[in-house]
Amino acid sequence: MSKPLVAILSGAGISTDSGIPDYRGPNGLWRRDPEAEKLVTYEYYMGDPEIRRRSWQMRRKNRTLAAEPNAAHRAVAELERAGVPVRVITQNVDGLHQLAGMPARKVLELHGSARSVVCTACHARGPMEDALARVEAGEQDPSCLLCGGILKSATVMFGERLDPVVLGEALSIAKACQVFFAVGTTLQVQPAAALAGVAADHGARLVIVNAEPTPYDELADEVVREPIGTALPRLLRDLVEARNH
């Protein structure tokens, strides 16, 4: 891999303009409904059919699959199309970077994808839409069509570890990049948050775009508190202009 010039770590804050609520913000899902956390905790999910039924109903009502990319997602894709070597490392599971036009091979999904399901027994994957269609048709806890195993969203649940290959790639990018943007992330969830520190330690210019303070603000070369939908497109346009001069 040639040295990626720009790394963008994106968190829930980049997708709130698309109508997807964040989890840890002042109005975040976990603050409003602590019981909801059980629905995405591996141990509870695997051990309790009632939790699985409630999880499928939550996914059915979830707006993630209907969400559209916003100005921030589009700005990242435009940066890539402008010829800037860019890699996206995302904590989000919504697939909006790819929908905006980022090539899938340039997006690392640290926490998996809500657009797919995976069998916990045989590891077969399939579209989330197909599983949800089965729920709509009356199946409360759809099982794997190949082996009958328990199906789950292809996201990393609480109690599951991140894919070590994906995490390893993310670390390599953090070490190699010249500019590292942390966008819409509290930088409190490890190991993703540590990537900002790794990038700074390896000489990258660290830019944090987030409404709330983060533990890495003092390491940053620039901290931007403005709304992401206007701030990120401007920052990335400036980057392209500076590169072209």
Q: Catalytic amino acids?
A: 111
Superfamily designation of domain 22-62+115-155: SIR2/SIRT2 'Small Domain' (3.30.1600.10)
What are the pLDDT digits (tens) for 157-202? 999 999 999 999 999 999 999 999 999 999 998 888 999 999 999 9
Quick one: pLDDT band at residue 15, thresholds 50, 70, 90? very high
| Spatial contact of 232 and 210, defined as CB atoms under 8 Å apart | no
> What's the predicted TM-score (pTM) here?
0.91
For 1-20+69-111+156-245, CATH number?
A: 3.40.50.1220
Number of CB atoms found within 10 A of residue 215's CB: 12
**CA dihedral of 137, 141, 147, 153, whole degrees rounded to 10:** 100
What are the pLDDT digits (tens) for 136-165? 999 999 999 999 999 999 999 999 999 999
Domain regions of the chain by residue span:
1-20+69-111+156-245, 22-62+115-155
- Asked if 1-20+69-111+156-245 and 22-62+115-155 have one fold, the answer is no
How much is the pLDDT for 1?
Answer: 44
